[in-house]
Amino acid sequence: MKIRRLLIANRGEIAVRVMRTAREMGIATVAVFAEDEAGARHVREADGSVSLGAGLPRDTYLDVSRILEAARASGADAIHPGYGFLSESPALARAVAEAGLLWVGPPADAIEEMGDKVRARRRMEAAGVPVVPGSAAGALTDEELLAEGRRIGFPLLVKASAGGGGKGMSRVDRPENLPAALAEARRIAGAAFSDERVYLEAFLAHPRHVEFQVFADTAGNTVHLLERECSVQRRHQKIVEETPSAALDGALRARMGEAAVAAARAVSYVGAGTVEFLLDSGRFYFLEMNTRLQVEHAITEETLGIDLVRAQIEVASGTSLPSAWREGRISPRGHAIELRLYAEDPVEFLPRAGTILAWEEPTGPGVRVDSGVEKGSRVGLDYDPLLAKLIAFGSDRPAAIARAARALKEWVVLGVETNQPLLAAVLASDAFVSGRYATDLLATMPPIAQTPPPPEAWIAAALALSAPPESTGVLAAAAPDPWGETGSWRPGR
């Protein structure tokens, strides 16, 4: 079935990115938006848009019935969920199918199977995919889990069965701390997922986080599209990804790729998905499967020269995977690095709000920016603080790093504090440059130095403070107002 009008049930950079491919395929695009985002970039780039009403995300982007209403109202015949929000909601996947629309994502059953982390572990073990040693699926009470914990050995991790993204996860170093940790994890898991069940996993000292892109079609073809190295994380959230991973050789890559394909097959997967592994001392363990497009999908696109969103739409329309993929004729080339620009301070990772007063994206050979904001965009606290992704491609890893650093330095962002200094520090760090790093990279880095302003910054500031305020190019309406007065311009006091 050929899709004519695609509703993107998301916001920010991923909504914009999906629309671009849709437009190239001759498919009309429909944006949805919460009222506070009526003028947002993803709305402005769509062919049409539907309001989801006012309120917090749970009443807008996370409301299955509103998304379906929007699809009906706009005449959309298909829905792309992006990542986050409802992308891993079996309820939406089912409701879309029941409404007679196409779902650009995996079957609801596959989402459900992989969404329950304990069930997924069991499935993977049965499919011969190695998993991190952990507690038995039946162990639920404190007593049962304590016994399992002694068997696995401390330190270990407590994790939410329904979880993801590290929510509800904590490290426990001694048996006596386990009960308190279990209670806390159950509370968080209950609040976040309406499911209090937790389980235990062995703690790996210096694991790398390496994931494989998988893709399957409705004809039963399942392939992998190589790996992404995602070990640069802050508080369990990725901030820099690269491909290929310096930790894999050809043999290990082949074994992990096979395991990823086996994982996808075990749940009769269809569409784009990602199988995450922990890699420690040359051994790898299934971590979880993300049953959606990944934030960092773009680095795979750059090294393979493919468009994963186009492939998603084609598979959803009933087309088979490209024959080159089916026959293993993918041609990885060069090196790609993604930097995630977050609206957050670079030291404590506290989210920042504000209005983007200056926004000049880097450009040029080998530089791609997937962005969800623009000059004038309002950045609030109700959504993920990801502003944009910089993807740098180079013919080898040093060239890609140099290009990423060059582009990052050229990126002008004013109005909202970002993690730009942290990203620059990662690129310049010995550990990252060497390629030998694990998920504790950030912990081992020296703290971000607060450099004093260079003379040019003092001069620019003095010039701006000497001039009449209108001459600084700031829009009156866009100016934040930390002094407590209301918005419009006033002369310097």
The residue ranges that bind its own copies (CB under 8 A) are 16-17, 20-21, 23-26, 298, 301, 305-307, 310, 322, 331, 333-334, 361, 363-371, 393-395, 399, 402-403, 405-406
Q: Select from 10, 49, 290, 291 the one that contacts other proteins (CB under 8 A).
A: 49
CB atoms within 10 A of CB 88: 21
Instruction: Output the smallest distance, CB 342 to other proteins, in A.
Output: 10
The yes or no reply on residue 109 touching other proteins (CB under 8 A) is: no
Q: In 3D, which of 242, 420, 270 has the Cα closest to residue 346?
A: 420
- Amino acid sitting at position 56: L
Judged by beta carbon, residue 196 or residue 302, the one nearer its own copies is 302
For residue 42, give Cα distances in angstroms to 16, 66, 388.
Answer: 5, 18, 12
Which of the choices other proteins, its own copies, none does residue 450 contact, using the CB cut-off of 5 to 8 A by kind?
other proteins
Which of the choices other proteins, its own copies, none does residue 375 contact, using the CB cut-off of 5 to 8 A by kind?
other proteins
Judged by beta carbon, residue 244 or residue 322, the one nearer its own copies is 322
Judged by beta carbon, residue 36 or residue 258, the one nearer other proteins is 36
The span from the CA of 61 to the CA of 78, in Å, is 16
Judged by beta carbon, residue 151 or residue 409, the one nearer its own copies is 409
Q: Sign of the CA dihedral 131, 133, 136, 141?
A: negative
Instruction: Output the smallest distance, CB 483 to other proteins, in A.
Output: 6
Which among 62-70, 92-100, 269-277, 353-361 is the span making contact with other proteins, rule CB under 8 A? 353-361
Q: Select from 33, 83, 411, 437 the one that contacts other proteins (CB under 8 A).
A: 411
| The token pair that represents 226 in the structure block | 């190589």
Instruction: Output the smallest distance, CB 200 to its own copies, in A.
Output: 41
Instruction: Output the smallest distance, CB 409 to other proteins, in A.
Output: 4
The span from the CA of 155 to the CA of 153, in Å, is 6
Q: In 3D, which of 338, 335, 337, 336 has the Cα closest to residue 388?
A: 338
The span from the CA of 324 to the CA of 308, in Å, is 14
Rounded to 5 degrees, φ, ψ at 46 are: -90, 160
Judged by beta carbon, residue 110 or residue 240, the one nearer other proteins is 240
| The token pair that represents 225 in the structure block | 């599209």
Burial of 397 (0-12, 13-18, 19+ CB in 10 A): middle
Instruction: Output the smallest distance, CB 100 to its own copies, in A.
Output: 28
Instruction: Output the smallest distance, CB 334 to its own copies, in A.
Output: 4
Which of the choices its own copies, other proteins, none does residue 271 contact, using the CB cut-off of 5 to 8 A by kind?
none
Instruction: Output the smallest distance, CB 286 to other proteins, in A.
Output: 25
Site for other proteins in 463-482 (CB under 8 A): 463-466, 469, 471-475, 478-482
Site for other proteins in 379-408 (CB under 8 A): 381-382, 384-385, 408
| The token pair that represents 418 in the structure block | 């970002």
Judged by beta carbon, residue 254 or residue 460, the one nearer other proteins is 460
The yes or no reply on residue 47 touching other proteins (CB under 8 A) is: yes
- Tell me the sheet residues that pair with 368: 391
Q: In 3D, which of 119, 114, 236 has the Cα closest to residue 166?
A: 236
Judged by beta carbon, residue 65 or residue 472, the one nearer its own copies is 472
Q: In 3D, which of 67, 77, 33, 104 has the Cα closest to residue 309?
A: 104
Judged by beta carbon, residue 53 or residue 305, the one nearer its own copies is 305
Judged by beta carbon, residue 129 or residue 306, the one nearer its own copies is 306
CB atoms within 10 A of CB 295: 23
Number of H helices, E strands in the chain: 17, 20
Instruction: Output the smallest distance, CB 45 to its own copies, in A.
Output: 9
| The token pair that represents 106 in the structure block | 């995996």
Q: Sign of the CA dihedral 221, 122, 273, 392?
A: negative
Judged by beta carbon, residue 180 or residue 475, the one nearer other proteins is 475
Instruction: Output the smallest distance, CB 220 to other proteins, in A.
Output: 38
- Tell me the sheet residues that pair with 51: 33
For residue 390, give Cα distances in angstroms to 202, 249, 302, 408.
Answer: 34, 27, 12, 8
Q: In 3D, which of 360, 303, 369, 366 has the Cα closest to residue 339?
A: 369
Site for other proteins in 422-441 (CB under 8 A): 424
Residues forming the site for other proteins (CB under 8 A)? 28, 39, 44, 46-49, 167, 350-353, 357-358, 360, 374-376, 381-382, 384-385, 408-415, 417-418, 420-421, 424, 450-466, 469, 471-475, 478-483, 490, 492-493
